[in-house]
Structure 1
């Protein structure tokens, strides 16, 4: 069992991380909605699928990667599918499985939105780095983004 001061330090760090996440997400949500009619999660799905070898994932994999329930993932995919940004297809290997594919329109919208998304994120992290409580968290984020992604 951890001593009380270590527990308090962990709780404090967790609260700071939650505050930083919330501040950044609000800024991103506002910009993405105003300019591209996308939520942060919708942008995240397009971005995630764009990085996949064939621009698709199974619905269950997408739900896990986005940390969403199956029902929330289905609603999100349906909204993007209605806009022509995603399409669903049966898996060739397992006809019970369904892939979610990003379409060329989805990739085009992502390409338009990505520079604005990245600029807002960078500005928010720069601002947070000037706060002595948040600076170590930002340093950790920036260190993580400079490392190569783990290979699967």
Structure 2
């Protein structure tokens, strides 16, 4: 079944095309990150999200916020954090003001790997988008992604 299958509604066709584009991009980035940095897309995403935290009010993310940001369940996020902690890429510690809270930070080793992997991620994304743009079903979505400007948080 393709995104233009006549048996699908217009909404379903659009969703199929978007899902196809996402799957192709993620698979391409996954192969590149695994080959060059021994990182999965989810591991890279987690390091990236956590690297943007800061000290001070509202600076650290709760596990649910992290799970939402990397599009995983809380239990899957916890397992992912544990794997990266075991590799020395993340550390966890108890919150000073709320003993129930646990913070997760990227270690220096994790930041170095993230810095090294970022060009690979960005290059693989560009390659995947360029390849998808050759497909008539996906080209409009690629243009939309390329034109999309997400406002920076204040």
Bucket of the pairwise TM-score, normalised by the shorter protein: 0.7 to 0.9
Paired residue total: 145
Instruction: Considering Cα pairs closer than 8 Å and 6+ residues apart, tell me whether 1 or 2 has the greater RCO.
Output: 2
Gaps of 5+ in 2: 1-5
Cα separation, 2, equivalents of 1:138 and 1:93: 45
> Is residue 2:30 matched to residue 1:33?
no
More helix by percentage: 1
Give the CA deviation at 1:150: 4.3
Alignment of 1:53-92 (within 5 A): 53-54=54-55, 56-92=60-96
Conserved? CA contact 1:57–1:101, under 8 Å:
no
Cα separation, 2, equivalents of 1:149 and 1:139: 21
> Relative to structure 1, is the Cα distance of residues 116 and 63 closer, same or farther in structure 2, using a 3 angstrom cutoff?
same
- Over the aligned positions, Cα root-mean-square deviation in angstroms equals 1.8
Gaps of 5+ in 1: none
> Is residue 2:17 matched to residue 1:13?
no
TM value normalised by structure 1? 0.87
